[in-house]
Amino acid sequence: MTEMRISKLLRQITAWIVICCLVMAGFAVNTALSLDGSGTQEDPWRIRSLADFNDFAADPNYWDDYIRLETDVNLAGRVYDRAVIAPILPYGGNNDFSGVFDGNHHKIINLHIDDGGTENDFLGLFGFVVDGEVRNLGLEGVSVSGDMFVGGLMGKNFGLISNCYSTGGVNGVSLVGGLVGNNGFGNISNCYSTCDVNGVSTVGGLVGLNSSGNISNCYSIGDVSGVEYVGGVVGLNSAGNISNCFWDTDTQTHRVTESIGLNEGTVTNVHGLPTYQLHQQSIFQVWDFINVWNIGENQTYPYLRTYLAGDINKDGIVNFKDFAFVALQWLEECNFGNCPPRVLITYPEDGARLMVGGVPPQTLIWAEANDYDGMVVGVEFFVDDLKLGEDTDGSDGWNYLWQNYSLGFHVLTATAWDNQGLSGMSTPVNVEVWMPDPPPP
pLDDT digits over 252-276, tens only?
Answer: 998 899 999 999 999 999 999 999 9
What pTM does this model have? 0.67
Give the strand pairing for 429-434 and 174-177.
unpaired
Q: How far is CA 40 from CA 36, 44, 371, in A?
A: 11, 5, 26
Banded pLDDT at 26 (limits 50, 70, 90):
very low
Please compute the mean of the pLDDT values over residues 242-253 and round it to a whole number.
95
The C-alpha atoms of residue 12 and residue 7 are separated, in whole angstroms, by 9
Is pLDDT above 70 for 122?
Answer: yes
Helix, coil or strand: residue 105: strand
Q: Between residues 178 and 30, which one has the greater pLDDT?
A: 178
Per-residue pLDDT tens for 191-205? 999 999 999 999 999
Is pLDDT above 70 for 136?
Answer: yes
Q: Any idea what DSSP says for residue 394? A: -
Per-residue pLDDT tens for 56-105? 999 999 999 999 999 999 999 999 999 999 998 765 556 799 999 999 99
* Weakest mean pLDDT among 29-38, 45-54, 262-271: 29-38
Q: What's residue 51's pLDDT?
A: 95
Contacts of 403 (CB under 8 A, 6+ apart): 360, 361, 362
Q: What's residue 380's pLDDT?
A: 97
Q: What's residue 434's pLDDT?
A: 85
* Weakest mean pLDDT among 25-39, 201-215, 365-379, 382-396: 25-39
Is pLDDT above 80 for 299?
Answer: yes
The C-alpha atoms of residue 181 and residue 210 are separated, in whole angstroms, by 9
Contacts of 8 (CB under 8 A, 6+ apart): none
Q: What's residue 43's pLDDT?
A: 94
Q: What's residue 91's pLDDT?
A: 52
Q: What's residue 359's pLDDT?
A: 57
Q: Yes or no: say if 208 and 174 are a contact pair by the CB < 8 Å rule.
A: yes
- Across the chain, mean pLDDT equals 85
Q: What's residue 42's pLDDT?
A: 92
* Weakest mean pLDDT among 83-87, 91-95, 145-149, 421-425: 91-95
Q: How far is CA 151 from CA 127, 217, 218, 224, 271, in A?
A: 9, 19, 15, 13, 22
